Chains A and B, each alone.
Chain A
Amino acid sequence: MPFLLALVPLRAVAAGVFGWAFADWRRITALCGVLAVVSAYVVGDVRGRHAEAAAWQARYDKLSHDFITAADAAKAAETKRQADIGSNVTKAFQDELAARDAADAKTRAELEKEIAAYQSKPGGACTIDAGAYRWLLDAKP
């Protein structure tokens, strides 16, 4: 509403100016000259603002692109890091198992030798009969 009220005196002023200008062709020429200067200024200002906005947009686009590129690179690096860790830890585990299995095979061979030596000794051996076997394995008769 205040804007509309402001138009009332503005209209009166414009009517006054145009009334004054149209009274003489030289005045019209002068008014056109003033309007041309003002228009050129406005157009120049708008162009400048557009150029400034375009420059900001270009910088924003570059920053955005650089940010996305850096984030993608960080993601790829993290994915590779985790894959390398998984691979290394798994390999270390497999190596440890292989070494332990080799040692275990040796221990088992030694155990069987010990068992053979033990069995060869005379003495009352407590053997597993059929009932003990079923009970030991939770097997039904």
Chain B
Amino acid sequence: MLAPIAGCSTLSPDLRAAAATQGRASAGVSLPSYPARCAQPVPHAAVKVGDQAIIDLKRERAQLDRANGDKAACAGFYASLRDELGK
């Protein structure tokens, strides 16, 4: 009578898979903190009366380069996180 369950002393592959699925589901998704740098605005270049306009424009473009670099890095951070968590 007990023969059908005699082999159940350890988890069967199906039960083991179900336990793993339940464990992963109950773990939820835990994301790291969003980098503070990604939320910080990049300031404009300083401007003073008497500055040459072309030089202020040059400095402003350098600030824009920096802002674009931050934006790309933050996008990379998100993409890496999504790819790794999805594996």
Please tell me if A24 contacts chain B, counting CB pairs below 8 Å: no
For chain A, the bracket of interface size reads 35 or more
Q: Are A111 and B59 in contact (CB under 8 A)?
A: yes
Min CB–CB distance A10 → chain B (angstroms):
31
Contact of A75 among B26, B29, B55 (CB under 8 A): B26
- Residue among A86, A119, A137 having the largest count of chain B Cβ atoms under 10 Å: A86
| A128 contacts B19, C-beta separation under 8 Å | no
Q: How many residues of B contact A (CB 8 A)?
A: 49
A127: which of B32, B51, B70 is its contact (CB, 8 Å)?
B51
Q: Is B39 an interface residue, CB under 8 A from the partner?
A: no
CB pair A104–B66 under 8 Å, yes or no, is yes
Judging by beta carbons under 8 Å apart, are A74 and B9 in contact? no
Min distance, Cβ A74 to any Cβ of chain B, angstroms: 3
Question: What distance in Å separates the Cβ of A90 from its nearest Cβ neighbour in chain B?
Answer: 5
A86 touching B66, Cβ below 8 Å: no
Q: Mark A20-58, 1 if CB is under 8 A from B, else 0.
A: 000000000000000000000000000000001001100
In the complex, the 9 A-B pairs of residues with the closest C-beta atoms, listed nearest first? A74-B23, A86-B32, A70-B19, A78-B27, A75-B23, A71-B23, A74-B20, A71-B19, A85-B84
Given contacts A71-B22, A74-B24, 11 further A-B pairs with CB under 8 A are A52-B1, A74-B27, A82-B27, A85-B85, A89-B80, A90-B35, A93-B73, A111-B62, A128-B53, A133-B49, A136-B56
